[in-house]
């Protein structure tokens, strides 16, 4: 993350809520432009006080420690719904690697929408954004909720249903003609393993860009997030 990108976002979306996530796992939510000041090497974030326009409890974050900027519209963890919920996901990337985005929609067993979220980061890849869309969707749901995951990514669908068990058994290595090699995006696959350990997840692959309503909407959200990151 560099100062120019962060300052540009502040000016472009002065009242948009987003979060800065650091490499150490901390998250700082920005709801108002006056909460944050950017220099060439760091960002200063303060918590809003009771008086509007005043911030307090400042934190100084080196720009090098900011891992990503996340759209903070994500749905808080929901109560467990009856039956199986459907999680629709998609990721997008403007260039590969380049600025990327992800989006998800959650619907209950009756087909009613109960949550959605989107966000972006840079630089990233399309596969990482596909994985992030699933991660963020699962994080928004009760950890014991049964899920039907609907994705247009063969990478995600086959990874979860066919490949991940073997990768994990081999110490997160995959078989190649040259022998065992590290799994790409291991950090995200490990997180998915954690999120699916206590629930049943069934994957359904759908072809992208053929008019599937939820898939098209997730794609729109992901592309918009990639363009605004």
Any domain includes 76: no
Q: Are residues 143 and 47 in the same domain?
A: no
Options 46, 91, 103, 119, the catalytic residue? 91
CA–CA gap between residue 10 and residue 94 (Å, rounded) = 21
Q: Are residues 49 and 126 in the same domain?
A: no
CA–CA gap between residue 173 and residue 167 (Å, rounded) = 5
Any domain includes 98: yes
Q: Are residues 164 and 57 in the same domain?
A: no
3-state secondary structure 101-112: EEEEEEECCCCC
Q: Are residues 50 and 16 in the same domain?
A: yes
Whether 21 is catalytic? no
Domain boundary (71, 95, 122) is at: 71
Whether 212 is catalytic? no
Q: Are residues 210 and 148 in the same domain?
A: yes
Any domain includes 64: yes
Q: Mean pLDDT, the chain, as a whole number?
A: 83
For the whole model, what pTM was predicted? 0.69
* Proportion of the chain above pLDDT 70, given as a percent: 76
Any domain includes 40: yes
Options 130, 137, 159, 214, the catalytic residue? 130
Domain boundary (71, 93, 128) is at: 71
Whether 209 is catalytic? yes
The string of pLDDT tens digits covering residues 160-195 is 999 999 999 999 999 999 999 999 999 999 999 999
Options 74, 121, 152, 214, the catalytic residue? 152
CA–CA gap between residue 20 and residue 69 (Å, rounded) = 5
The string of pLDDT tens digits covering residues 63-115 is 888 877 766 544 455 666 667 899 999 999 999 899 999 999 999 988 999 89
DSSP characters for 120-148? EEEEE-HHHHHHHHHHHHHHTS-TT--EE
CA–CA gap between residue 135 and residue 15 (Å, rounded) = 26
Any domain includes 215: yes
CA–CA gap between residue 67 and residue 101 (Å, rounded) = 14
Q: Are residues 93 and 64 in the same domain?
A: no
Q: Are residues 92 and 60 in the same domain?
A: no
CA–CA gap between residue 174 and residue 13 (Å, rounded) = 42
Any domain includes 78: no
The token pair at 147 is 């899920």
The token pair at 227 is 């363009």
Q: Are residues 104 and 176 in the same domain?
A: yes
Any domain includes 79: no
Domain residues for the domain of 100 are: 85-228
Options 74, 90, 121, 214, the catalytic residue? 90
CA–CA gap between residue 171 and residue 169 (Å, rounded) = 6
Domain boundary (71, 98, 123) is at: 71
Q: Are residues 54 and 93 in the same domain?
A: no
Q: What is the CATH number of the domain that holds 60?
A: 2.30.30
Q: What is the CATH number of the domain that holds 98?
A: 3.30.420.10
Q: Are residues 155 and 128 in the same domain?
A: yes
Output the CA angle 70-72-77, nearest 5 degrees: 115
Any domain includes 36: yes
Instruction: At 38, give phi and psi (nearest 5°).
Output: -120, 130
Q: Are residues 61 and 126 in the same domain?
A: no
More confident call, 18 vs 134: 134
Whether 91 is catalytic? yes
DSSP characters for 166-217? HHHHTTSEEEETTEEEEPTTHHHHHHHHHHHTTS-EEEEE--TTS--HHHHH
Q: Work out how many domains the chain is built from and give that number.
A: 2
Q: Are residues 27 and 127 in the same domain?
A: no
Q: Where are the alpha helices (DSSP H) in 140-185?
A: 154-158, 164-169
């Amino acid at each position: 993350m560099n100062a120019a990108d962060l300052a540009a976002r502040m000016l472009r979306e002065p009242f948009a809520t987003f979060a800065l996530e650091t490499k150490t796992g901390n998250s700082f939510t920005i709801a108002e432009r006056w909460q944050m000041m950017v220099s060439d090497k760091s960002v200063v974030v303060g918590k809003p006080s009771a008086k509007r326009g005043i911030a307090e409890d400042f934190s100084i974050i080196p720009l090098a420690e900011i891992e990503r900027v996340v759209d903070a519209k994500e749905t808080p963890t929901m109560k467990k719904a009856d039956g199986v919920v459907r999680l629709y996901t998609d990721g997008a990337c403007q260039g590969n690697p380049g600025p990327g985005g992800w989006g998800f929609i959650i619907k209950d067993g009756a087909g009613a929408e109960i949550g959605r979220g989107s966000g972006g980061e840079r630089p990233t890849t399309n596969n990482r954004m596909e994985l992030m869309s699933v991660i963020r969707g699962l994080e928004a749901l009760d950890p014991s909720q049964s899920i039907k995951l609907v994705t247009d990514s063969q990478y995600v669908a086959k990874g979860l249903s066919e490949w991940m068990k073997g990768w994990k058994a081999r110490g997160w290595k995959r078989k190649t003609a040259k022998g065992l090699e590290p799994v790409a995006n291991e950090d995200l696959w490990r997180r998915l393993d954690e999120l699916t350990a206590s629930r049943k997840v069934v994957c359904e692959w759908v072809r992208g860009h053929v008019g599937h309503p939820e898939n098209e909407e997730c794609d729109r959200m992901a592309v918009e997030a990639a363009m605004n990151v």
